[in-house]
Chains A and B, each alone.
Chain A
């Protein structure tokens, strides 16, 4: 395990920003921390990146304890956020030459043009002052800065904040490409389920400083929201005759029939049963998005206000 977080706690004047969370991330894995505003995502990332001291618990990054060996940790970790900045008065070459010197990278110019080119930055852009960059361009250059430094572990704290949907999608595409190619261990935080679902191999849902569930996006969706809905047009009057223990209820609205499944794993059998009735058109299966799953989950939690313990 490259990242081991155990019972981490951080309190800010009475607010339990992080309230005893634990998780582990494997080498080369892309791990998502998903949660609403104020859930404690940034606090967790900052502790793991040695920018913040925890009140309790431990975090080990690449075998180094964040409190005991912060400099070692910073040698293998980099953090990307949407608010990362450059020197506005300097152009991209000047900025990158500065940071590359700090990183001890000599062939930065080739790397910059190479990575930048792939992200869609033109050579003329590098002559521009950073103050004249758009948010999207700056975020691309930010990624280039990280690629030049090339740490094995990367924390991405809501990196697409402030990007328009198209730029955001492009940016995610690039991230995916890089993650696949470079075998980086990544922790990605977001409140955007779609983003997390697209990028992450495993997800922890964080709410009010606690992890409420961990798992791969698909399994998580099933566990939190196992129900499936099959909808189709039925040409006969009355309800079709389908019987299965997995069916929760059947509804009719106009010509449309909705079959709610209690257990999504029986989906294939049920569809076969439905098809065998005949006189059926427009059949579709509605799958819950992680977003629905996430909203339901946090709502449930808020309603019951019970302490849900992480199951790892």
Chain B
């Protein structure tokens, strides 16, 4: 399939998803308000701590918190969206129509993930504006630091694909991954520096790419550049994550096709 064909399919998913979101009016408003509320809560919390003497985190704790929450919101959609969407599609019974196309199933799955990316982007812009305009926290957003953020997104999207595959076989699996993902909030330094964790927990932090993503983004804000370690780790983590995701998805699809679990019309 050619690029034009792919964009046409991608566009179909983006339009469909936004139409569906818009059909739930209150949810739609909530979806727009959430990120603003989040940034505000953590912005004020950070500022209170700063006013009380701070924590010694470079750039101040309010900046630390706000970058943490913005990065987190940006990547969490990538982690959940493709798997959730596939399960949902199987559940409501439209999966068959998406499957019966002359494309690899990766085409609709990736289109779904990219459609989710538009939500990430919207939330990101909202939070960024609130941070800059309301809290006066400048994120010094440069193209390299934004690309770095996208890499972070890619590193989790791979896991998103893996969950999507496993979710085809085992419905309940998403709950497990939800728990795992939220434990990342603890390990990766979303709301507090990794240094504040016990030594043993810090070993766990080191193997999760999100830790490097957060560290890199924060560094680029306070120092104007991204540390070399993070610059090297992120693309590798992104590629490995994507590879693991694609292989897992492939294996799960094969198993589902054998067991008759792909499509239960």
Contact = CB atoms under 8 A, between A and B. Distances in A.
A77 B96 CA distance: 12
A51 B11 contact: no
Contacts of A129: 23
A85 B102 contact: no
Interface string B36-50: 000000000000000
A71 interface: yes
A175 interface: no
Count chain B CB atoms within 10 A of each CB in A12, A78, A84, A101 and give the residue with the most.
A101
Interface residues of A, number: 34
Contacts of B118: none
A95 B183 CA distance: 38
Given A86-B94, A104-B8, A77 B265 contact: no
Contacts of A75: 101-102
Contacts of A74: 99-103
B19 A90 contact: yes
A81 interface: yes
A240 to B, nearest CB: 57
B262 A52 contact: yes
Of the four ranges (under 10, 10 to 19, 20 to 34, 35 or more), the interface on chain B belongs to: 20 to 34
A71 B93 contact: no
Contact of B93 (A51, A83, A94, A157): A83
B94 A51 contact: no
A88 interface: yes
Contact of A84 (B96, B104, B262): B96
B260 A12 contact: yes
Contacts of A72: 102
B16 A46 contact: no
A72 B257 CA distance: 17
Interface string A39-63: 0000100100101110000000000
B199 interface: no
A88 B11 CA distance: 20
Contacts of B265: 81, 83-84, 157
A interface secondary structure, majority: mixed
B194 to A, nearest CB: 42
Nearest to A81: B265
A102 interface: yes
A194 interface: no
B229 interface: no
Given A46-B263, A74-B102, A85-B94, A90 B9 contact: no
Interface in B97-141: 97-104, 108
B92 A88 contact: yes
B12 A52 contact: no
Given A90-B19, A101-B8, A101-B12, A52 B96 contact: no
Given A71-B104, A89-B20, A90-B19, A84 B97 contact: yes
A78 B97 CA distance: 9
Contacts of B8: 101, 104
B182 interface: no
B100 A53 contact: no
A71 B103 contact: yes
A99 interface: yes
A90 B94 CA distance: 13
Interface string B223-263: 00000000000000000000000000000001001111011
Contacts of B23: 89-90, 129
Contacts of B98: 102
A27 interface: no
A145 B97 contact: yes
A49 B12 CA distance: 24
Contacts of B258: 52-53
A98 B16 contact: yes
A99 B265 CA distance: 18
Interface in B1-55: 5, 8-9, 11-13, 15-16, 19-20, 23-24
Contacts of A98: 12-13, 15-16
Given A46-B263, A99-B97, 19 more contacts: A52-B257, A71-B104, A74-B102, A74-B103, A75-B102, A83-B265, A85-B93, A85-B94, A87-B20, A87-B92, A89-B19, A89-B24, A98-B16, A101-B9, A101-B15, A102-B98, A102-B101, A102-B108, A103-B101
Interface of A: 12, 43, 46, 49, 51-53, 71-72, 74-75, 77-79, 81, 83-90, 94, 97-99, 101-104, 129, 145, 157
Closest 9 CB pairs of A and B: A75-B102, A85-B93, A101-B12, A89-B23, A98-B16, A51-B263, A53-B257, A83-B265, A53-B258
15 contacts: A12-B259, A43-B260, A53-B254, A71-B104, A74-B101, A74-B103, A75-B102, A77-B100, A81-B265, A90-B19, A97-B15, A98-B15, A98-B16, A102-B101, A104-B8
